[in-house]
Amino acid sequence: MPRPLRTAITELTLPAVLIAAWWVISEWRSSLYVPSLSTIVATLTSSSFLHAMPGALASSGRNFALGMAIALVAGVAVGLVLGSVPLLYAACYPLLELWRAVPAVAVLPLAMLFFGLGDSMKVVVIAFAAVWPILLNTIDGVGGIEPTVRATVASYHLRRRDTLLRVVLPAISPQVVAGVRTSLSIGIAVIVISEMAGSTDGIGYFILESQRTYSFPEMWAGAIVLGLVGYLVNLGFRAVEKAILSSHGPSVAGQ
């Protein structure tokens, strides 16, 4: 059996069993707040749900992509500087630990105050929450470059641009990719929180509004769609991760 097919079967077996159990149990015992799975599936295929969901996903996806892009660029750029200058990193360490410990939910009131309730607020909150794994992993990656590699680069008198593109970035790519993977799940959670706190669109707002109007099948259907989107994002990133880390050998690329 081909390895991709075997992997897919392994990953889907347990979810299939749980879905089957949920279907049977919910048909036997359901309530207003927890409708049967058949009702939720019917909602997923209803015209009203299919009409509302593309716009909600597009709004959430746009803000999520912008926030993650800002977190990636800022995390790698600042991490390269701090990782290359240990004295500067030591001076900034207390501030980094202070801000890293602040939950994204606690930043929401400040973001609303300065950026209002529009998309800018959501992007800023996502970027703030997602930047820390990327930043800290980049710092660790730069600090973990072997001294022999540094000595070799110095002996060839490479320009800073060539050193960055050909030595540093390839060397730290496993740590950066690991940080991005962690940040993806954080970003998805934060976009939903930001949309629930103050918004008029997005998947988080859709789920909250469904709960407020006692449309519980729509609420559960929205949560299921959100979970599927998160799984697909992680699946796509695994393919990107494998391509980026292919030069580091199968042991790293296959993680």
- With 0-12 / 13-18 / 19 or more C-beta atoms within 10 angstroms meaning exposed / middle / buried, residue 69 is middle
For the chain, list the domains and their CATH numbers.
55-199 (1.10.3720.10)
The mean pLDDT of the chain is 86
Handedness of CA 101, 103, 109, 111 (dihedral sign): positive
Residue-level length of the chain:
255
Q: Could you read off the pLDDT of 152-211 as tens digits, one per residue?
A: 777 777 777 777 878 888 888 889 999 999 999 999 999 988 888 767 889 999 999 999
At residue 173's C-alpha, the angle toward residues 167 and 179, to 5°, is 145
Q: Could you read off the pLDDT of 125-140 as tens digits, one per residue?
A: 999 999 999 999 999 9
Q: Could you read off the pLDDT of 47-59 as tens digits, one per residue?
A: 999 999 999 999 9
Mean pLDDT of 30-56: 90
Give the tokens for residue 225: 């769609």
Q: What is the pTM of this model?
A: 0.84
